[in-house]
Amino acid sequence: MNRILCILAVAVQLVACSKNPITGRNQLTLFSEAEIQTMATQEYQTFLTKNKVVSTTVSKDAEMVRRIGTRISTAVTNYFTEKGLKNELAGYKWEYNLVDSKEANAWCMPGGKIVVYTGLLPITQNEAALAVVMGHEVAHAIAKHGNERMSQGMVQELGGVALSVALASKPAETQNLFMGAYGLGTTYGAILPFSRSNELEADKYGLFFCAMAGYNPQEAIPLWERMAAASGGNAPPEFASTHPAEATRIEKLKQLMPEALKYYKPIGTK
């Protein structure tokens, strides 16, 4: 029986592999974007009702999150349109919320559903650094890394069945896979780690989107230096818990910086 399941899992992966139009890399995506976005919308609204959302009418920080999100989503839309890939953003209805929590975390679900935790702000310290984080999380969503992680988990744990079947037969397990795939592990179970290729892609395109939105991408370097300091040599902040070592990431970001700066036009310039 185990041998049969292994053969089926391999077959599923071969059939479901597709080339990502942005990164050019083949990835396992068992689920359609429409399926993932529907589930994301439902889980996002559930999350917001169970957590304290900070209002933009009373908080400059919440307004900052909204402002960054708006600029990054505009930059992403323009970039995809220029590349002839606007259809890749079909169904995206961007939302940006600041949630009151001590966790140093942020995430973006498919369809542009973004959350930043207040516990991250003492580390980011300024708008450009927060834009680096949000750009990184948006890049994860756009590159379909969550779909890839959830697909891998579905093959390993549920045999690669269709999402509708998994939701009907094992709803709790499927929800945990989804929430873990999109970075909500502290509430819903262990976070599924991103692969090295996922992280490099999110760093690269996140940095570019940040620059396109008018934020200085060079803020990424001191940001990750602060991330390293915040860890105190122990466990890193929640946002960085599944990410490569800070020194490795900083070196990669330095290599990407010349290209990122080509996209950078400070806010207010033409």
Alpha carbon 174 to chain centroid distance?
Answer: 19
- Amino acid identity, residue 15? V
Tokens 């909204």 appear where? 66
Tell me how many degrees the CA angle 118-209-189 measures, rounded to the nearest 5: 45
d(CA 78, CA 234): 40
Place of tokens 């933009």: 56
- Stated as kind and residue range, the H or E segment containing 19 is strand 17-19
Half-sphere exposure of 172 (CA within 13 A, CB side): 1
Query: Which residue among the candidates 33, 137, 199, 238 is catalytic per the annotation?
Result: 137
238 is catalytic: no
Q: Which two tokens stand for residue 155?
A: 């093959």
The residues annotated with a catalytic role in the active site are 137
